[in-house]
Amino acid sequence: MYIKASKDLIEFIKKSPSVFHAVDALKTELKSEGFEELAEGKKWNIQKGSKYFVTRNHSSIIAFKVGEYLDDYSFNIVASHCDSPSFKIKDNYKIEASKKYVQLNTEKYGGMIYSTWLDRPLSVAGRIIAKNGENFETVLVNIDKNLVLIPNVAIHMNKEINSGMKYNEQVDLLPLYGICAEGKDSFMDLVSIYAGVQKDNIISTDLFLYNRTEPTVWGENDEFMSSPKLDNLQCAYATLQGFLRGSNTKSVNVYCCFDNEEVGSGTKQGAASTFLEDVLKRINDNLGKSSEEYLCALASSFLISADNAHAVHPNHPELSDPTNRVYMNEGIVIKHNANQKYTTDAVSSALFKEFCKRADVPYQNYTNRSDVAGGSTLGNIASSKVSINMVDIGLAQLSMHSSYETAGIKDTLYLIKASEEFFNSHITEKSSGVLSVTK
């Protein structure tokens, strides 16, 4: 079962060379499960016992199932993100080097390990905006071939390369695309072919590099998997599967996958936007509930923020906390931070541990070393718009923000099972400081 869950995850990742493709793959699965697509710009008609989804910017998605008995309802929410660090193709993309080579001009998106992008097959995926009469239409494009490569400088020309290399984004990290041909500019021709749109109709683009290296399961006993974009498509996929499997009649179950976490979430489609708040309020209004009933629902609601976590590194165990150390294949990671970079507190940790216990899933506790500043994620950002009990969790991995990351073979299934148990549950605030969890 562990291997199957990880191989299914791999197939999802292969369908997701860009954030737009990831959301499209999520939409496809939701539609196959009978979810109705809504549009933010149209009126909604939400019915009890039904299931829906809505997207924003083609790069964030929220799906929800509405229970049948909602007298004292609440929201069960899981949130993850589907963007990963990469390089974005600039508008004026063509650079000629030495009058012989054609490079693509790029800028970095998010924080990545630069060296992992060099000397490996890359390509380009994303979206174009095409004009069709009076309409401006979004079209996804994936140039499904080994298209570009960022070459290293030979050690003969930089004998200090193994002593530490400081990369200049405008010099060292430009991908090689082809050989100069006078008067020829074939890149947009290629984009138009793969998009199925006439070149003259392409108005603008959001195109990114992606790693073409095939995902794989490996290790002495097939205990590891490596792939591009494990942070955070592993959590996005696993929580979706738990959402699809889970059900309860007294809650509104909500699945969120946001864009732009890697650059701070401060966009119209990020976790700092009104997207989640807008959807929850529209659900409440469609159910004929008052604004006070909405606030009552929030008091009993719970959000799981799912984003991968740092496993202890085999070569550098000293980088991890002395006692709160997490490992691949040893369970879901509950993240703690005294300064609230993570939203976990005693209440939310206790509830999540209960879900893991009921699902027969192991869990681990993570904190950074006290002398090392850690990263943050989308939980505390989302809480600025929707204030409810939240826990930050993830799956342990190595090489976070590499173009090719490593995780444990068991952990995807662990998160599927825990998420399913969460969505099978109904949480009620009985009184101040007292919460109950029932089926």
- What CATH number should be reported for the domain holding residue 288? 3.40.630.10
> Do the domain assignments include residue 218?
no
The answer on pLDDT for 223 being more than 60 is yes
Write down the mean pLDDT value for the chain. 95
255 and 163 share one domain: no
Q: Looking at 211, 240, 261, which one is the last position of a domain?
A: 211
- The answer to whether the beta carbons of residues 302 and 77 sit under 8 Å apart is yes
The answer on pLDDT for 139 being more than 80 is yes
Give the separation between CA 37 and CA 350, rounded to whole angstroms.
35
pLDDT (tens digit, 9 = 90+) per residue, 295-330? 999 999 999 999 999 999 999 999 999 999 999 999
243 and 116 share one domain: no
- The answer to whether the beta carbons of residues 152 and 186 sit under 8 Å apart is no
> Do the domain assignments include residue 413?
yes
Average pLDDT over residues 65-70: 94
Nearest C-alpha neighbor of 279 from the set 253, 305, 241, 299: 253
The answer on pLDDT for 185 being more than 80 is no
251 and 314 share one domain: yes
| Upstream peptide bond of 232 is cis (omega within 30 degrees of 0) | yes
The answer on pLDDT for 340 being more than 90 is no
> Do the domain assignments include residue 328?
yes
The enclosing domain of 116 has a CATH number of 2.30.250.10
Give the separation between CA 152 and CA 150, rounded to whole angstroms.
7
186 and 78 share one domain: no
Would you place residue 86 in the very low, low, confident or very high pLDDT band (cuts 50, 70, 90)?
A: very high
pLDDT of residue 183: 55
140 and 274 share one domain: no
pLDDT of residue 373: 80
- The answer to whether the beta carbons of residues 129 and 202 sit under 8 Å apart is yes
> Do the domain assignments include residue 219?
no
Q: Looking at 178, 211, 244, which one is the last position of a domain?
A: 211
394 and 369 share one domain: yes
80 and 91 share one domain: no
Q: How many domains does the chain have?
A: 2
Give residue 134's domain range: 86-211
Average pLDDT over residues 149-167: 94
433: left (phi over 0), alpha (psi -120 to 50) or beta: left
154 and 192 share one domain: yes
pLDDT (tens digit, 9 = 90+) per residue, 342-363? 999 999 999 999 999 999 999 9
- The answer to whether the beta carbons of residues 407 and 397 sit under 8 Å apart is yes
> Do the domain assignments include residue 295?
yes
27 and 162 share one domain: no
pLDDT of residue 381: 87
Among 70-74, 128-132, 417-421, the minimum mean pLDDT is found in 70-74
53 and 97 share one domain: no
> Do the domain assignments include residue 267?
yes
Q: Looking at 211, 236, 265, which one is the last position of a domain?
A: 211
- The answer to whether the beta carbons of residues 31 and 49 sit under 8 Å apart is no
> Do the domain assignments include residue 216?
no
Q: What are phi and psi of 236, to 5 degrees?
A: -60, -45
Q: At what angle do helices 411-423 and 346-358 cross, to 10 degrees?
A: 100
The answer on pLDDT for 2 being more than 90 is no
| End-to-end Cα distance, the chain | 25
The answer on pLDDT for 227 being more than 80 is yes
> Do the domain assignments include residue 223?
no
417 and 432 share one domain: yes
33 and 101 share one domain: no
Burial 126-158 (b: 16+ CB within 10 A, else e): bbbebeeeeeeeebbbbbeeebbbbeeeeeeee
